[in-house]
Amino acid sequence: MSDIGLKITNNSKHIAQPQTFESTKTPKEKAKLAKAAQDFESMLTSMMLKSMNQTTGGMFGEGSFGGDYFDTIFETKIASFISEKKSLGLADMIYKKVIGEDLDMNKIKQEMQSENTKSIKIEASKAIKNEAINDSVSISPSKGSVDRLSKFDDIITKASESYNIDKNLIRSVILTESAANPKALSKANAKGLMQLIDSTASDMNVKNVWNPEDNIFGGSKYLSKMLEKYDGDIEKSLAAYNAGPGNVEKYDGVPPFEETKNYINRVKGYMKYWENEL
């Protein structure tokens, strides 16, 4: 295969309008793009060196023993060194064009470390959550409430899939909140299957709080936000659903309210019941 001759009069011309793509902008994606941009710069630099060496007979002179082999090694090493030292700045230009940020490998490494730490915390929270549910005592709901709840099973399934929440958690909250009565109304003016107050229903864009589907989707959406807020900690999320996130923040965890503690235990007890039923 013959060597490729490369003539460059304007270094920026070849990447003035690079093809962009929709980046997730996660630290992992940023690291991949940075590596690809640096590899591209290194490859282009190597081609430039090869093109220049063709006019001089190579770094070791024409006819030297093993000159072609060593030329290739030196060209690659020098190209990598130039790329790492950002002498041309092509990798930076590509990265900024796509991501919209300056290429900073130290920053990317810190972001990846932070993301990994967060993932570990979330997994730990999930483990604690599962342990808490497994340690709870099963509570059997009345036959009437189970029969009523079964009428909304399709809606619950859709809400579970839409907001990535365990179907049994939605079921258990509904049983605890209203015993699956779509017309339930509390003294605090909480309404429907998942006992939504007017402000929460409005925030979750619930059009008709008395409509079972609207109510279940609104309650599930709010519950999913609490689970996200507290990194999957089911007890804190349920406490926020029952007593409000303000009280969870105030007491740095489940507030010392008997009503809230009983509420959490009841939901967990129903979840244990549904797990045993499967």
Tell me the pLDDT tens digit for each residue of 157-210.
999 999 999 999 999 999 999 999 999 999 989 999 999 999 999 999 999 999
Q: Any idea which fold 118-277 has?
A: Lysozyme (1.10.530)
For residue 144, CA distances in Å to 158, 181, 219, 235 come to 23, 10, 22, 27
Report residue 100 CA to chain centroid gap: 20
Q: Are 216 and 159 in contact (CB under 8 A)?
A: yes
Average confidence (pLDDT) over 220-233: 94
Whole-angstrom distance, CA of residue 131 vs CA of residue 119: 18
Among 53-67, 106-120, 241-255, which stretch is predicted with the lowest mean pLDDT? 53-67
Quote the strand ranges of the chain, DSSP E. none
Residue type at 6 in one-letter notation: L
* pTM listed for this prediction: 0.55
- pLDDT for position 5: 46
130: pLDDT strictly greater than 90: no
133: pLDDT strictly greater than 70: no
Alpha-carbon Rg of the chain, whole angstroms? Answer: 30
Q: Which residues contact 274 (CB under 8 A, 6 or more apart)?
A: 168, 171, 172
What is the dihedral sign for C-alpha 184, 189, 195, 196? positive
Q: Are 172 and 267 in contact (CB under 8 A)?
A: yes
118: pLDDT strictly greater than 70: no
Q: Are 149 and 175 in contact (CB under 8 A)?
A: yes
Residue type at 220 in one-letter notation: S
Beta bridge partners of 196: 191
Whole-angstrom distance, CA of residue 205 vs CA of residue 130: 31
Average confidence (pLDDT) over 238-265: 94
Among 7-11, 116-120, 181-185, 220-224, which stretch is predicted with the lowest mean pLDDT? 7-11
- pLDDT for position 8: 42
Q: Could you give the residue range(s) of every CATH 1.10.530.10 domain in the chain?
A: 118-277
65: pLDDT strictly greater than 50: no
Residues known to be catalytic: 177
pLDDT over 70 percentage in the chain: 59
For residue 122, CA distances in Å to 129, 133, 252 come to 10, 16, 17
